[in-house]
A and B are shown apart, each in its own frame.
Chain A
Amino acid sequence: MLQHLDDPDPFDASPALRAGVQRRAAQLRRRRVSFASVVAIVVVFGFATASFAWVRMRDDNIQRVHLADGTLTDVAPSEPVDIVLVGSDSVSTEMGGPRADVVMLVRLDPAAGSLHILSFPRDLIDPRTGGRMADVLVGHDATAVVDSVHLLVSVPIHHYIQLDFQGFVALVNEMGGVRLDVSAPIADRFTGLSLPAGCSQLDGTTALGLVRSRHLEVDGVADPTSDLGRTTREQAFITAALAQLSSSATDPLTLDRYARILGDHAVLDDKLDFTHLVALGRELRNVAPNAIESFTLPSTPATQNGAAVLISSAADADMARRFLIDGTLPGSSTPQDGAPRLRITSC
């Protein structure tokens, strides 16, 4: 139809055209290679920049606290790291400041792949202030908490992590809940907790009810162990959660959601940057469930200003230190007489 637009002179593919095609093709191929490498460089560089920016952003979002110089000890990578872990009712400064609901000292030994959790009873007398451990956080002084823990067990402490209740709930929910097997039905009218015997999936709120419960009824009978029983339940819960954490995903998106939760609900010491935190998480995942041991600092009941308190001795501190370092548990630690036996395990 458009033949009238054709070249009246015949066209044939001359050797010159062939040679031109080959020359140009060689040129194009070189260009394609260099274009591909430019794209690759841009992609790699862009990705690195983006992840760096992301880490910085998440890092900046997390509340930091600077502890007085000399409070925290530097730790070499792959050396055992001792972390003071505080569960508080809030990280905000409002309403008279947070209270330490839970104080723990955890030792993560990456080389041995072990995790030792030492709990401090709430009613334990803090030798530094003479008050209770529960009140040690009032005034928002992370240095004070670490100093008190250090004074009680005299081990060098490397990091400080504080998490509030909502953060705990959010973390458990982010994990998709934690499965616990309880040997008897338990309930707490104060926290609203109610679990049947056997295996159940605990969401964040239920889990918080369990670890906070101090008025537990086991099989309808009040548990007289109160706070000490609570400590063992906390330890059982953490053991189960960590066992189930290792099977949950660690893709960047999941990590990002965990990081967001920490940003909203945690306070970390300013030496614990995000890269460090991710490394700790990785080491935590390498801990086998049977390499997690927990222990409560031994103490003797006493009365102080008419209130029931607990006092730990130098011998108690030695025991706790031995436990922290090599996981040795002193002989039998049977529950108090008449206490209903309650076993909580992962399932």
Chain B
Amino acid sequence: MDDPASLPASFDDRFAGLAAIAYRVSFRILGSRPEAEDVAQETLARAYVRWSRVEGHAEPWVARVAANQALKVVSRRQRRAPRDPKAPADDLDTVALTRLGLAGALESLPRRQREVLVLRYLADLPEEAVARHLGCAVGTVKQHAHRGLSKLRVLLDPGAELIGEATNGHSGLFRPAPTVETKRPTPKP
């Protein structure tokens, strides 16, 4: 860790996997390749400088930091070019609108619920890993995920109608369950 020229073996071995998590999490929020790459780079650099402390739970750590960094980018974007929430969203496609809603919703959730949603649905970590990282029972993770999701749906509701037109009644954030999906055409991402 003291030699800046080379990464320590344990970090190097997991670099690709961790970078992929960081990129996935931030792209899901940001939807832009250069921005998501920047977030992934920043996140991995931060993991690297405190690697001895991060190593034991690197995947959830990276996912969390990447999500926070990505949300920061979103708010920076909005500060630069504020969007009137009532303005027609013609210039945005459904997925972009979903991302906007997702970022806003994540910001407004209680910390615990946000963490569970980030780890479980943005980083696609299994429930057990999320529970281990947060130091709680799997049941608690399920509970937080459930509550978080339903709040997210409520928070996204104002846009639901608009999105609904384009997405056949789905909020656009969450794909319908597979059984439903067979009956209705999946909205194009």
Q: List A residues at the B interface (Cβ < 8 Å).
A: 1-9, 11-13, 17-18, 20-29, 32
Contact = CB atoms under 8 A, between A and B. Distances in A.
A252 to B, nearest CB: 34
Contacts of A22: 4-5, 7, 45, 48
B20 to A, nearest CB: 6
Contacts of A9: 33
Given A17-B19, A17-B40, A21-B48, A5 B27 contact: yes
Interface string B10-26: 00000110011001100
A6 B27 contact: yes
A11 B187 CA distance: 24
B174 A1 contact: yes
Interface of B: 4-5, 7, 15-16, 19-20, 23-24, 27-28, 31, 33, 36-37, 40-42, 44-46, 48-49, 95, 98-99, 102, 121-122, 173-175, 187, 189
A21 B41 contact: yes
A8 B33 CA distance: 10
A9 B16 CA distance: 16
B49 A25 contact: yes
A162 to B, nearest CB: 59
Contacts of B121: 1-2
A25 B121 CA distance: 28
Given A5-B98, A25-B49, 20 more contacts: A1-B174, A2-B173, A2-B174, A3-B175, A5-B102, A6-B28, A7-B36, A11-B19, A11-B20, A11-B24, A13-B16, A17-B37, A17-B41, A20-B41, A21-B48, A22-B4, A22-B7, A24-B42, A27-B45, A32-B49
Most-contacted residue by chain B among A17, A27, A28, A29 (CB, 10 A): A17
Contacts of A27: 45
Contacts of B98: 5
Contacts of B23: 7, 11
A244 to B, nearest CB: 49
Nearest to A24: B45
B48 to A, nearest CB: 4
A24 B22 CA distance: 16
Contacts of B36: 7
22 contacts: A1-B174, A1-B175, A2-B121, A3-B175, A4-B187, A4-B189, A5-B95, A5-B102, A6-B24, A6-B28, A7-B36, A9-B33, A11-B20, A12-B16, A12-B20, A17-B40, A20-B41, A20-B45, A23-B45, A28-B46, A28-B49, A32-B49
Contacts of A21: 7, 15, 41, 44-45, 48
A141 B41 CA distance: 78
A12 B22 CA distance: 11
Nearest to B2: A29
Contacts of B4: 22, 25-26, 29
Contacts of B122: 2
Contacts of B28: 2, 5-6
A9 B34 CA distance: 13
B40 A25 contact: no
In the A-B complex, the 6 residue pairs with the closest CB atoms: A24-B45, A4-B189, A13-B19, A5-B28, A25-B45, A20-B41
A9 B32 CA distance: 11
Most-contacted residue by chain B among A8, A21, A22 (CB, 10 A): A21
B106 to A, nearest CB: 12
